[in-house]
Amino acid sequence: MALAIYNTLTRQTEPFTPLVADHVSMYVCGPTVYSDAHIGHAMSAVVFDVVRRYLEWSGYTVRHVMNFTDVDDKIIRRANEQGRDPMELAESYTLAFLDQLGQLNVLPATAYPRVSTTIPQIIQFIEGLIAKDAAYHASNGDVYFRVRADEDYGKLSRRAVDDMRSGARIAPDEAKDDPLDFALWKSAKPGEPAWESPWGQGRPGWHIECSAMSLHELAEQIDIHGGGNDLIFPHHENEIAQTESLTGKNFAQVWMHNGMLQLAGEKMSKSLGNLITIDQFLSEHSADIMRLLVLSGSYRAPLVYNDEVLADTQRKLERIMSALKPAHGTATNGPVVETLNAIVAKAPADFRAAMDSDFNSAAALAVLFDLVRSINAARDAGVGGEPFAAGQARLRELAAVLGLRLEAPSASKTDAAPFIELLIELRAELRKAKQWALSDLVRNRLSELDVQLEDSPNGTTWTTKG
């Protein structure tokens, strides 16, 4: 078995072989930073973080680039509405998103290029396209990509150029040679951020940034290009057209697209106003819950988000956490130990088989749940010591490949203190009444919650781990 990935370009699941042995280059389209990121953005980030973590666990060195679109109509409009500087507004949302990615346990990308820091490379790219007659400087000052010059335009989204041209939605534009042509460079308008260029003051169109950044940060040809499936057309189609027209080579080997997060049957989006921001989500739930939500389904399918799904995900996390409670027994042999050892030994291969099948994270989670069942059964049967620790270590190891932290919810000392004091008082009464079994139960259950009791002639004190 080897890794196979579904490729949107071919509509096939294909064996994956990187262009350079042991190295993977991966470019993922990032957000346009004009408002608070929502959990749809979190979904995409988590999907490609899991891809990266799995590739790294498989021995590859991954160069992972994600861009920030910090020059865009939406940013300029929002900044004007709020009386702010567009670049300052973009910067504040960029920093906020980077912080949220850290909270979500998403590994930092190798590079985070932004439009505003890539202008020379973008201009150079456009000059290259003009030199090949794949782009032209129009009478209105803009520079357009010449779609007609690209013979296989439409190959990713499987749209025929003639159908698109006759489509009613494309309005003729006097400045363009063809209504399908799209802007690479927009001439400056008053009050907008602008940069000097061979075509006068202006700013880049949206699509060109990713072609230029990918070329600059990675190479002419890359292994994986990713993003949400709402980017297939026109964004990724145009990226392919730009890059392949310039280099004459195939751009990305594999085009990976994640499904959209859906709230009440609709795609979560700013325009529909059905947003849950990442900050809102993380104020109520852990990052592991977000990750388990994503991991429980296929990354290519829509992710339905509602209270029921959320409650189900919470139960899943509790089930996994239950396996991390300490053992009380000391048995290190016998049939239960043998079963546990066998499951611990074969879990990595099962996990790999699941993930090799187009990152089937739901099947990979099933392997984790098999481990959870065996660990808990072993604890109940009095197993402890090395075999039990090995089971928990394996669970943590595989969970980490999926980016799960599995941290005990940090019940802060102040929150839990009155209840712990109450239980200690109750236990003292039980001991007075010689109810040893019950008093030991209180001590043991507290110990499972990482609260350690210490008895002394002066009474009982308690400490918590961490």
Q: Which is nearer to Zn ion, 235 or 285 (CB)?
A: 235
Q: Which is nearer to Zn ion, 46 or 210 (CB)?
A: 210
Stretch that binds Zn ion, among 29-37, 41-49, 171-179, 313-321 (CB under 5 A): 29-37
Residue 399 as a binder of Zn ion (CB under 5 A): the answer is: no
Inter-residue contact 369 to 404 (CB < 8 Å):
no
User: Under rule CB under 5 A, which residues in 334-373 are in contact with Zn ion?
Assistant: none
> CB 350 → Zn ion: shortest distance, Å?
35
Stretch that binds Zn ion, among 32-40, 202-210, 283-291, 370-378 (CB under 5 A): 202-210
> CB 186 → Zn ion: shortest distance, Å?
17
> CB 54 → Zn ion: shortest distance, Å?
23
Q: Which is nearer to Zn ion, 256 or 383 (CB)?
A: 256
Q: Which is nearer to Zn ion, 116 or 439 (CB)?
A: 116
Is 56 one of the annotated binding-site residues?
no
Q: Which is nearer to Zn ion, 69 or 187 (CB)?
A: 69
> CB 49 → Zn ion: shortest distance, Å?
17
> Which listed residue (9, 24, 29, 71) binds Zn ion by CB under 5 A?
29
Residue 210 as a binder of Zn ion (CB under 5 A): the answer is: yes
Would you state the structure tokens that stand for residue 229, as one six-digit string?
């499936």
Stretch that binds Zn ion, among 25-33, 77-85, 265-273, 381-389 (CB under 5 A): 25-33
Length of the chain: 466
Stretch that binds Zn ion, among 23-31, 47-55, 131-139, 279-287 (CB under 5 A): 23-31
Is 189 one of the annotated binding-site residues?
no
Is 249 one of the annotated binding-site residues?
no
CA–CA dist 73, 32 (Å, integer): 10
Is 239 one of the annotated binding-site residues?
yes
Q: Which is nearer to Zn ion, 32 or 313 (CB)?
A: 32
Residue 254 as a binder of Zn ion (CB under 5 A): the answer is: no
Would you state the structure tokens that stand for residue 308, as one six-digit string?
């029921």
> CB 148 → Zn ion: shortest distance, Å?
23
Stretch that binds Zn ion, among 152-160, 210-218, 320-328, 431-439 (CB under 5 A): 210-218
> CB 119 → Zn ion: shortest distance, Å?
16
Q: What residues are paired with 423 via a beta bridge?
A: none
In degrees to the nearest 10, what's the CA dihedral of 304, 308, 311, 312?
Answer: -70
Vertex 18: Cα angle to 14 and 22 (nearest 5)? 135
Q: Which is nearer to Zn ion, 213 or 317 (CB)?
A: 213
> CB 65 → Zn ion: shortest distance, Å?
10
Q: Which is nearer to Zn ion, 29 or 76 (CB)?
A: 29
Is 235 one of the annotated binding-site residues?
yes
Stretch that binds Zn ion, among 81-89, 169-177, 203-211, 285-293 (CB under 5 A): 203-211
Stretch that binds Zn ion, among 24-32, 76-84, 122-130, 137-145 (CB under 5 A): 24-32
> CB 235 → Zn ion: shortest distance, Å?
6
Counting residues that bind Zn ion (by CB under 5 A) gives: 2
Cα Rg of the chain, angstroms: 27
Residue 205 φ/ψ, nearest 5 degrees: -70, 175
> CB 221 → Zn ion: shortest distance, Å?
17
Would you state the structure tokens that stand for residue 343, as one six-digit string?
């499951």
Q: Which is nearer to Zn ion, 210 or 224 (CB)?
A: 210
Binding residues for Zn(2+): 29, 210, 235, 239
Question: Applying CB under 5 A, which residues contact Zn ion?
Answer: 29, 210
Which residues make up each annotated binding site?
29, 210, 235, 239, 270
Q: Which residues are annotated as a binding site for ATP?
A: 270
